[in-house]
């Protein structure tokens, strides 16, 4: 991990709501049109949206907010960070005029079975679009 990326917090949410020796559960509550600043994910994790939400993401070094996530109630996504992690630092902003909360469940008890990060997989209740690929 480079010194540039090691200076970002490994806290993928604003409130740690549960932790044991196997998992860590975070909530991320974004105020209306609010932002959660740069952070990193070091562990494979599950993201759960109990309510609808619409956010954009920006990776460190990108000039644009190039990632867009639309979630319907019950949207679940799984991200394999892999043993080569962490994934690049990124920040998230809420595009809605109401607060938005989602949960991040980190799998901390064992090493990832993958040697690298893999594409996110999810149920059919939402999507993530990389706008950098829309020319």
Can you give the pTM of this predicted structure?
0.89
Residue 133: pLDDT band by 50, 70, 90 thresholds?
low
Share of the chain above pLDDT 90, in %: 84
CATH of the domain spanning 3-133: 2.60.120.10
In this prediction, residue 45 carries a pLDDT of 97
Q: What is the mean pLDDT of residues 14-25?
A: 97
For 51-65, what is the mean pLDDT? 95
What pLDDT is stored for residue 8 in this prediction? 85
| 1, 82 Cβ separation under 8 angstroms | no
β-strand pairing of 100-107 with 45-49: antiparallel
What confidence score (pLDDT) does residue 90 get? 94
Kindly state the tokens that stand for 71.
């979630």
Name the nearest CA neighbour of 11 among 23, 32, 28.
Answer: 28
Phi, psi (rounded to 5 degrees) for 6? -75, -10
């Amino acid at each position: 991990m480079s010194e540039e990326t090691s200076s970002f917090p490994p806290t993928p949410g604003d409130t740690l709501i549960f932790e044991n020796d196997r998992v860590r559960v975070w909530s991320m509550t974004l105020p209306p049109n609010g932002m959660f600043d740069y952070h990193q994910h070091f562990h494979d994790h599950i993201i759960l949206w109990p309510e609808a939400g619409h956010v954009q993401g920006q990776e460190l070094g990108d000039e644009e907010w190039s990632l867009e996530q639309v979630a319907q109630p019950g949207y679940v996504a799984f991200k394999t960070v892999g043993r080569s992690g962490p994934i690049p630092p990124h920040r998230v902003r809420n595009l809605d005029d109401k607060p938005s909360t989602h949960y991040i469940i980190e799998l901390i008890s064992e090493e990832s079975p993958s040697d690298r990060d893999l594409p996110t997989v999810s149920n059919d209740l939402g999507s993530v679009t990389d706008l950098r690929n829309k020319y």
